[in-house]
Chain A
Amino acid sequence: GQNIDQPTEMTATEGAIVQINCTYQTSGFNGLFWYQQHAGEAPTFLSYNVLDGLEEKGRFSSFLSRSKGYSYLLLKELQMKDSASYLCAVMDSNYQLIWGAGTKLIIKP
Chain B
Amino acid sequence: IAGITQAPTSQILAAGRRMTLRCTQDMRHNAMYWYRQDLGLGLRLIHYSNTAGTTGKGEVPDGYSVSRANTDDFPLTLASAVPSQTSVYFCASSEGQGSYGYTFGSGTRLTVV
Binding site for B on A (CB under 8 A): 4, 8, 30-31, 33, 41-45, 48, 87, 89, 91, 95-102
* Residues in chain A near residue B102, CB distance under 8 A: 43, 45, 97
Seed contacts A99-B43, A101-B40; 12 additional CB < 8 Å A-B pairs: A33-B100, A42-B90, A42-B106, A42-B107, A43-B90, A45-B103, A48-B101, A91-B100, A96-B45, A97-B43, A99-B44, A101-B42
Q: Give the number of chain B interface residues (Cβ < 8 Å).
A: 19
Residues from chain A with Cβ under 8 Å of B75 in the complex: none
Contacts across chains A and B counted by CB atoms under 8 Å: 46
Which residues from chain A contact B45 at a C-beta distance below 8 Å? Answer: 96-97
List chain B positions with a Cβ less than 8 A from chain A. Answer: 40-45, 48, 58, 90, 97-98, 100-107
Chain B residue at minimal CB-CB distance from A102: B42
